[in-house]
Structure 1
Amino acid sequence: MRRLVYLLREAVANVLTNRTTTVVAVATTAFTFACVGVFLLLYVNLKTLASSLEQDIQVMVYLQDDLTEQTRSEIDLQLKADRAVGSVTFVSKEQALADFQNQFPAESHLLQGLGQNPLPASFVVTLAVESRSSDAMRRWAHRTQSIPGVAQVQYNQEWVEALAGIVRYIEVAAIIVGLILSAASVTIIANTIRLALYSRREEIEILGLIGASATFIRVPYLLEGAALGFLGSTLSLAILKAGFELFRHEIRSASRFLGVDALLTFFPFQMCVVLVCVGLFLGCAGSFLSLLRFGEGRA
């Protein structure tokens, strides 16, 4: 227990002794983590938006005009039996005409001169949650198109695929930027620990001469690196949270974006813990790297 207290006290002493370099390291680490966090926040919110929009996307299955009631019932049963289908609603030709007239009253006169109702009957299909990705919807639409009596299957394919593509690009960008800035954080922390090692190299040599093990000497510096990573990642989350709330307040104040702020979400608690743990790990990695180089320099 006394040894653990000593190691912790040494780590705190290292941080306080090198206040300037510590502040610079924490601030720079926080900035790099915040940059990664911006991409992660963008990815999380776009992913949430995509999931929300996918729930609202409905597939229109238009029927041929000359279908008998029996054929229509068979198509209805076939759609409801499909595991990829969440719900099915039948819209008759008369209901389709009434809906058109309600939604577009200024254009309803265009259909009056045609004599008969030109709008087809259709099924409004909502797919199951696991079948709402762009690839799954494309496969389902292609399969349903081949059902006898189905004239056309339509859904907002371009919008779904474009949104999925944007999410994939953001995901790749977050990974690339995260790797680059994580390497930068490790380098910054490693340089900070290296300065502490060189400033106390005589003390380290004395500890080695009186029989202190390499692990005993290194642990305070590993703890110092972990503390720098912890402080940097925690500070970055505070910066991101403040910026996120400010952005949401501005969105809420703009009348043209009314209701959009309710869709925006910050990192869940579990993800915040993961980000702090990543900061701890990167801090330890930076310390370990500097200790290896310091040992090689002494050898």
Structure 2
Amino acid sequence: MSFWLTVLRQVGRNLRQTWMSQLMTLLTVSLSVLMFTLFYLIYANMLNVGDQLGDDLRLIVYLEEEPGPEMQEQLKKKILSFDEVENIRFISREEAFDSFASQLGNDRDVLEDMPNDFLPPSIEVTPLRTLRSLTQMKLFSGYLSRLPGTLKVQYGQDWMERFYSFTRLLSIVVLLSGSLLILTTIFMVAYTIRLTILGRQDELELLKLVGATNNYIRTPFLLEGFLQGFLGSTLGLASLYLLFHWITERFSGPGFLNLIEFTFFPPLTVLTIIGVSILLCTVGSHSSMRKYLRI
């Protein structure tokens, strides 16, 4: 017990002597964690958005003529020969008209002079989730466009291309910010520990001469790295949490953000980020000790 009390006193002394560099390191670690977690949170929520919107994804195959029962069975077999799908639904001209009219709502009176069979019949195909990558959707759409009597296939291609391009860009930004977090954290903590070691080099050598063990001398520096990682990551995540709630409350209400459920990191992810930050800071502290601590 006395060992740890002495070690903690040494840590407090080191923090007081180099408080300016310690504060700068803490702010650097916090900002690095905040920047990385911000982009990672956006990326994770965009993947959730893709899953939520993907639940309503359909391929609409517009036909020249309304198929009879036998033709419907043949078309089903041809569609299923490409791959399994969740659902295949044939929509008649009248059903298409009723659906279009319900979408117009109060403006449906514009259709009063229109015949109820002016819209083309169609097939609504709900693909399995294994088919929902952009490449597979393009292949599936191309296959459906070659079915007998097909006029056109629609599935929101432009939207999907923009969405997947945005998520790919976000994944690159997450990797870059993660690399920046690793480099800045290790470098700043190593630099701060180096200043502490150089400022106390004579004292540390004297402690070694009077019988202090290596663990007694090194443990305070490792604890400094541990504290920098813990406090820096906690401060960065707390700032992100406040920013997340401010944005969700500020922009809540009617609109796109209200249609999608955005979530914060689960507890396991938060603990993992804190643990990785502690590990990186401890590694920075250890590397500086190996290079500058002559014991």
Q: TM-score w.r.t. structure 1 length? A: 0.85
More deviation in 194-203 or 71-80?
A: 71-80
Structure 2 unaligned regions, length at least 5: none
1:216 shift after superposition: 4.7
Which secondary structure state, in structure 2, belongs to the residue aligned with residue 259 of structure 1?
helix
1:51-92: CA deviation from partner (whole Å, max 9, x where unpaired): 211222211122341744312122235546765411222211
Question: Is the 1:12–1:224 contact (alpha carbons within 8 Å) kept by the matching residues of 2?
Answer: no
Written as runs of structure 1 = structure 2, the 5 A alignment for 1:1-299 is 3=3, 6-7=6-7, 10-65=10-65, 67-79=67-79, 83-104=83-104, 105=108, 107-108=110-111, 111-112=114-115, 117-212=117-212, 214=214, 216-252=216-252, 255-256=254-255, 259-260=258-259, 263-295=261-293
Cα drift, residue 180 of structure 1: 2.0
Counterpart contact for 2:66–2:121, Cα < 8 Å: no
- Using a 3 Å threshold, how does the CA distance of structure 1 residues 235 and 79 change in structure 2: closer, same or farther? same
Q: CA deviation at 1:174?
A: 1.7
Could you tell me how far 1:225 is from its partner in structure 2? 0.6
Distance in 2 between residues matched to 1:258 and 1:220, nearest whole Å: 48
Normalized against structure 2, the TM-score is what? 0.86
Q: Distance in 1 between matches of 2:206 and 2:257?
A: 67
Give the counterpart letter for 1:141 in structure 2.
Answer: S
Shift of 1:170: 1.0
Q: CA deviation at 1:162?
A: 0.7
Secondary structure at the counterpart of residue 56 of structure 1: coil
Please tell me whether the aligned partners of residues 194 and 292 of structure 2 are also in contact (alpha carbons under 8 angstroms): yes
Distance 1:99 1:294, change over 3 A: same
CA deviations 1:263-290 (Å, max 9, x no partner) are 2211111111111012101211221232
For 1:86, what is the secondary structure of its paired residue?
A: strand
Supply the RMSD in Å over aligned alpha carbons: 2.8
Q: Secondary structure at the match of 2:251?
A: helix
Question: 1:213-269 CA deviation, whole Å, 9 max, x = no partner?
Answer: 5455323212211211111001111111111111111112x5555725x62211111
Contact 2:66 2:92 in 1 (8 A): no
Distance of 2:46 and 2:257 partners within structure 1: 18
Whether the 8 Å CA contact 1:61–1:150 is kept in 2: the answer is yes
Runs (4+) off by over 6 Å: none
Between the aligned residues of both structures, percent identity stands at 28
